[in-house]
Amino acid sequence: MTSGALKKTPLNDAHRALGGRMVDFGGWDMPVQYTAGVIEEHMATRTRSGLFDVSHMGEIWVEGPDAISFVNRLTTNDVLKLVDGQAHYSAMTNDNGGVVDDLLVYRFGQEKLLLVVNAGTTEKDWAWITSHKKDERVELHNASSEYCQIAIQGPDATAIVQNLTETDLAAIKYYHFTTGRVDGVDAIISRTGYTGEDGFEIYAAADTAEQLWNKILETGNYGAKGGILPCGLAARNTLRLEAAMSLYGHELGDDISPLEAGLGWITKFQKGPFTGSEIIARQKEEGLTRKIAGFEMTEPGIARDGCDVYVGGEKTGVVTSGSPAPFLKKNIGLAFLPPQFAIDGQEITIDVRGRQIAAKVVPTPFYKRSK
Amino acid sequence: MSNIPENLRYSKDHEYVNVNGDVATIGITDYAQHSLGDVVYIDMPRVGDKFGTHESFGSVESVKAVSEIFTPVAGEVVEVNEGLNDTPEAVNNDPYNSGWMVKVKMDNPGEADAMLSAAEYEEYLEASN
């Protein structure tokens, strides 16, 4: 491996000090797990709290009088519906109705939006956004390297962060955010996440990352029984999969429409045209040929990404994400299926390395936290 | 550091064999379990199945990955560790004892002698890292 060429987040040394097993993740040197292992990290996040370095994700500022209309033209969700201090999940589409990336759009003001995009697609997104600017009065700024992003997720997350800030966290509703200070550091405190748990994503200057990371571990009693655990990419993936959240490159891609990916709920045709909206609207009218469905294995075996799915002996689809689900203690996954088979209870089989293993379509999310 | 017991023989695929007469107890090494991460499922052969040398006889699945396991020695499966169905984590916690996978009656008991010794396996690990 040519680790010299990999990009590093400001927490790279911290991960190594914690025993993180580092892997090449889309060109980033990231921890896949720490010493506790993926199952314990996953369970800590579901039952207590988990800490994630997501500084590799991209941050792009859009500022100017046409910020909202510009982002509205490039993405599927309706930016006009956002109020200051609110964020939403959205998809940036291409001319064929495929997805350039999925992202969060934060509204700081009428003329100021922040786009948070995936790490592996930041450069592609930046090129896409800058090259699709027409005569809109907006300033674009790729601030990805200026920020760290630390996610703290799980039932104990609010109490831990509240110890470190004077901001009243109870006043921040889900998918809302505020600017404030965490451990004295200027930060964007966002009640969002990618685990299916309550929690926060904290954005701050890159050079404050270690301070924040270590302070949160200390405040969360890392190392003590019942304390917080740092979590690697493996747990981040199993947590998001239990919550049936899409992962770009799996359920989403340049040749997958948001409707096929099950993102109709963030595809707002009534707001007016956006990139690819005609094609996507036609798809909705004419009906989809495939859509994402959740499944669980009913026989021993684990379906992995890329496994073929069969109905009645006929190949009908493909697994996009498959894994053991540590909290649910089942083997689950997401797959593309023709809509007539993407119905709860549908029996399917999955070719797992040459063997047909039984599974059935189940409702998603697989896991939903109790309020 | 990996735990590499002196009394076992090792393959370059990171299986070990523990020879007792003409029966070899086979599992994966401490290094292998550590690389895989949390093991959640082991797909094993049945008693009576016969395998040649270096044939895939099953797979070990961790949360993140699946890894095939190969027979380091040819022979017939005489016992499988059914306990791993309920406690696959034994492969992580105790790979050389409760985490064993299958017992094979060797066609040629001399075959195990040709495998790596503990010292050779340690050298092999160092060289490949």
Asked whether the predicted pLDDT for residue B66 surpasses 90, the reply is no
Evaluate whether residue A367 is within a structural domain: no
Q: Where are the alpha helices (DSSP H) in chain A?
A: 12-17, 38-47, 67-74, 122-131, 157-162, 209-219, 233-242, 277-286
pLDDT of residue B129: 74
Whether residues A188 and A325 share a domain: the answer is no
Same domain, residue pair A126 and A225 = yes
The CATH number of the domain where A153 resides is what?
3.30.1360.120
Domain boundary among A286, A306, A325: A286
**CA–CA distance, A303 with A350 (Å, rounded to integer):** 7
Do A278 and A354 belong together in one domain?
no
In a domain, A9, yes or no: yes
Residue A371 has pLDDT above 80, yes or no: no
Q: Taking 70 as the threshold, does the pLDDT of residue A3 lie above it?
A: no
The percentage of residues in chain B with a pLDDT greater than 90, rounded to a whole number, is: 84
- Which of A286, A316, A346 is a domain's end point? A286
The reported pLDDT for the residue numbered B1 is: 65
Q: Are residues A294 and A281 in the same domain?
A: no
Residue A4's pLDDT is 57
Same domain, yes or no: A39 and A157:
yes
Task: Give the nearest chain A residue to B62 (CA atoms).
Answer: A324
In a domain, residue A177? The reply is yes
- Mean pLDDT is lowest, of A151-165, A323-337, B44-58, for B44-58
Q: For residues B82-97, give the mean pLDDT.
A: 94
Going by pLDDT thresholds of 50, 70 and 90, the confidence category of residue A141 is very high
> Has residue A185 been placed in a domain?
yes
**A54: nearest Cα among A153, A141, A140:** A153
Average pLDDT of the residues of chain A: 97
- pLDDT recorded at residue A91: 98
Q: Is A284 on the interface with B (CB under 8 A)?
A: no
Residue percentage of chain A with pLDDT more than 90: 97
pLDDT single digits (tens) A241-286: 999 999 999 999 999 999 999 999 999 999 999 999 999 999 999 9
The token duo for A76 is: 């599927």
> Which domains does chain B carry?
9-124 (2.40.50.100)
Q: Do A302 and B40 touch (CB under 8 A)?
A: yes
Give φ, ψ of B31 to 5 degrees: -60, -45
Mean pLDDT of A65-75: 98
Each residue's pLDDT tens digit, B25-54? 999 999 999 999 999 999 899 999 999 999
Closest partner CB to A39 (pick from B38, B41, B61): B38
**Extended strands (E) in chain A:** 21-25, 28-33, 50-53, 58-63, 86-93, 99-109, 112-117, 139-142, 147-153, 177-182, 185-190, 199-205, 229-230, 291-297, 308-311, 314-325, 330-337, 347-352, 355-362
Residues A314 and A253 in one domain: no
Structure tokens at A19: 């025993």
**Subunit contact B38:A38, Cβ cutoff 8 A:** yes
Overall number of domains in chain A:
2
Chain B residues in contact with A302 (beta carbon < 8 A) = 40-41, 61, 66
Does residue A312 have a pLDDT over 80?
A: yes
Question: Does one domain contain both A278 and A189?
Answer: yes
Q: Is the pLDDT of residue A57 over 50?
A: yes
Over range A94-114, report the average pLDDT: 98
| Residue at A143 is within a domain | yes
Question: What is each CA distance from A90 to A141, A277, A321, A322, in whole angstroms?
Answer: 19, 14, 20, 24
Residues of B in contact with A325 (CB under 8 A): none
Residues written for chain B: 129
pLDDT of residue A146: 98
Size of interface A-B (CB pairs under 8 A): 38
Residue-number span of the structural domain to which A168 is assigned:
1-286
**How confident is residue A2, by pLDDT bands cut at 50, 70 and 90?**
very low
Task: Find the mean pLDDT for residues B51-60.
Answer: 92
Residue A371 lies in a domain: no
Check residue A280 and give its pLDDT.
98
Q: Is A327 helix (H, G, I), strand (E, B) or coil?
A: coil
Of A256, A286, A316, which residue is a domain's last?
A286
Both A86 and A174 in one domain: the answer is yes
Task: Tell me, yes or no, whether A369 lies in a domain.
Answer: no
Looking at the structure, tell me whether residues A310 and A182 fall in a common domain.
no
CATH number at residue A305: 2.40.30.110
Whether A281 is covered by a domain: the verdict is yes
- Regarding whether A321 and A261 lie in a shared domain, the answer is no
Return the SS3 of A74: helix
Tell me whether A301 touches chain B (CB under 8 Å).
yes
Contacts of A332 in chain B (CB under 8 A): none
Question: A326 and A242 in one domain?
Answer: no
One domain, residues A202 and A343: no
Q: Say whether B63 and A353 touch across the interface (CB within 8 A).
A: no
Range A363-368 average pLDDT = 97
Q: Which of A38, A300, A301 sits opposite B63 (nearest CB)?
A: A38
Provide the ipTM. Answer: 0.77
